[in-house]
Amino acid sequence: MKYPFVSVVVGIRNEEKFIEECIESLLNLDYPRDSYEIIIVDGMSTDKTRDIVQKYPVTLLLNEKKNVAAARNLGVENARGELVAFTDGDCKADPQWLKTLVHEMQASPDDVVCFGGPNLIFDTDPVFGRVVGYAQESFLGSGGSAQSKNSTKKHYVSSLPNCNAMYKKAAIKEVGGFDERFVVGQDGDLNYRISKKGNKFLYIPNAKVLHHRRGTFKSFSVRMFKYGVWMAELFKKHGEFVRWYAFLPSIAILFAVILLITSIKFFIPSLLLLALMTVYFILVFITSIQVTYKMKSKYGLFTLFIIPVQHVAYGLGFLYSFTNSPLISKDSSCSDI
């Protein structure tokens, strides 16, 4: 195969715990070393991250805006390659990762402009993080999205997470790059705009990246709330749902509240509410068994709490966005890169 030059961009902030592992995995890719560059974009880290990065033969850029979207724009702006691959500072790339992405790019039609693979779980991560990771691989946890499902079949998808994705740079520049006002969900917004140009995204199961799962119950809840907020902002910006399941948790919350209020006077709403909650928790229980089986650990049963918390926090975040001034207007556009 031919080896076109690829720019690998990693946006980071305070990643002293994992950045060394990430960089070493990128330096040891099975791809000619003179055919790719590694660009680390640091969001003004306050720990030892930059000291660690400077030990390696990589390009270090400083991102004064600190957010991930700005980091990726800066990386693209300084990329020498016409292909730009993204991963995160808490990820570890498989040695065949880049070669697999490039090979699929060369074998695909011109309208396929983004290629990516699974977002796998480290078995050595803390229990809570692993349970969250496996729970989000389920249908209840991800809606079947490529971001989390980790399918074993190659297929076209509507979007790919930027912890594991390679783009034709021209496709990113054509739509004006990442919208830097998005604190989270910036890759979903970019991919939506790219897809509106008639372009496609290819999921490749063999292009593997391991991604550390972290956090606590509290931080997980806050993160899900923020995802809900920014998914609503995506809707307000584009005037339609970027993901079909985005509104379901908030609709379920509103419907449950209405049934609860009306059940004070009427008997049927209380029966309907009970029936729906029973079905929901049966599905959650089945999912928890699946996670327990995957983990081969009783801790998989934590899914019984994690999935409902995810749905409620996400739904409340979505509703919150509609009760406050819009963060992103429908007619707003991104600055060129």
Q: What is the mean pLDDT of residues 94-101?
A: 98
Q: What is the mean pLDDT of residues 62-69?
A: 94
- Cβ contact 42:88 at 8 Å: no
Look at residue 334 in the predicted model and tell me its pLDDT: 35
Look at residue 333 in the predicted model and tell me its pLDDT: 34
Neighbours of 330 (CB within 10 A): 10
User: pTM of the full predicted structure?
Assistant: 0.90
pLDDT at 335 over 70: no
Q: What is the mean pLDDT of residues 130-134?
A: 93
CA 215/CA 310 separation, integer angstroms: 14
- Cβ contact 193:70 at 8 Å: no
pLDDT digits (tens, 9 = 90+) for 212-222: 987 789 999 99
Q: DSSP assignment, residue 43?
A: -
CA 51/CA 125 separation, integer angstroms: 24
CA 326/CA 266 separation, integer angstroms: 37
Q: Where do the domains of the chain lie?
A: 6-216, 220-322
Reference 322, options 224, 235, 221, 227; nearest CA is 235
Q: Which residue has the tokens 């594991």?
A: 164
Contacts of 61 (CB under 8 A, 6+ apart): 39, 40, 41, 42, 74, 75, 78
- Cβ contact 137:149 at 8 Å: yes
pLDDT digits (tens, 9 = 90+) for 10-32: 999 999 999 999 999 999 999 99
Q: Which residue has the tokens 């409340």?
A: 316
**What is the overall mean pLDDT for the chain?**
91
Tokens coding 121: 């779980």
CA distances from 132 to 188, 292, 301 (A): 20, 12, 11
Dihedral sign for Cα 103, 107, 109, 110, please: positive
- In CATH terms, the superfamily for domain 6-216 is Spore Coat Polysaccharide Biosynthesis Protein SpsA; Chain A (3.90.550.10)
Q: Give phi and psi for 3, each to the nearest 5.
A: -120, 85
337 versus 73: the higher-pLDDT residue is 73
CA 196 from chain center: how many Å?
A: 20
